[in-house]
Amino acid sequence: MNPRPITRRRALAAIGGGILASPAFRAFSADGGRKFKIGACDWSIQKRGDPAALKTAKEIGLDGVEVSFGQPGEKFDLRLAENRQKYLAEAKNHGVEIASLAMGILNQVPYASDAGAEQWVADCIDVMPKLNQKVVLLAFFGNGDIRDRPELRKEVSRRLKRIAPKAEAAGVILGIESYLNADEHLQILDAVGSPSVQVYYDVANMHEMGYDVCRGIRQLGRDRICQIHCKENGFLLGEGKVDFAKVKQAVDEIGWQGWLIIEGAVPGGKPMFECYVKNQEFLRRVFCTT
């Protein structure tokens, strides 16, 4: 039988396997059989764009922090080596990790239409290996919302396809977080055709939109979900609308492992710190981490 030709899609799949199998990205099971780590968004623990988030994470009992990557000129702009060193030093000092980066700035300055935002994503790709990062969240809410706007989704696909080779060369993943359903997310991923563009899955967002949260996880599958936001709006995790036991079942069925990042999940009037201690304890019980 003649061997199948090496197409671009097959080559990219091989690259993607390398990204997903890399020790930095999927080595959690090597740590005493542990498959998940628990982190939080820096904005959710009231330390957006601040290296002090790592100290707060340690005090809460988290394994790491999702760190904001913003526009140029911010106080701790990660484009600058001295600021990256502050984050790395804090992580080492407190024994916690930078779990990923997040571009929430795209909610104000849309990736789909702003040339500056497009350049900022390229800047972030340059920064990620210098911080030993594999995943960045690209946010599509607020001004950047692409729901019910097929022309913007097409432009997002075009821009991601253009930047994907840079992400592949850096060995990093651009994670789309949006209000789109699984089918719509897959349309973008298929149009881009790169393992370096995946979905950053937010369970509360999917529930809020009326989608079947667990069906979406199964539909996307292991290799197209880069990280998961474990979120509730106005409730502690486990006391709200998302059935995390079923989420765990769906995640197990597709064989996914990685960072679970807590966002929101603070009832009105309750202190953040107390709530986040409870939230991370809940996730460890459900997902059987150590």
Per-domain residue ranges of the chain = 36-287
Q: Which residue has the tokens 């597709």?
A: 254
Report pLDDT digits (tens) over 145-195. 999 999 999 999 999 999 999 999 999 999 999 999 999 999 999 999 999
Listed residue (202, 182, 216) closest to 66, CA to CA: 202
pLDDT tens for each residue of 101-146? 999 999 999 999 999 999 999 999 999 999 999 999 999 999 999 9
Sign of CA dihedral 223, 276, 204, 67: negative
286-288-290 Cα angle (round to 5): 130
Fold that domain 36-287 belongs to in CATH: TIM Barrel (3.20.20)
Residues 21-47: tens digit of each pLDDT: 443 334 334 334 548 999 999 999 999
Q: How far apart are CA 158 and CA 106, in angstroms?
A: 17
pLDDT at 117: 97
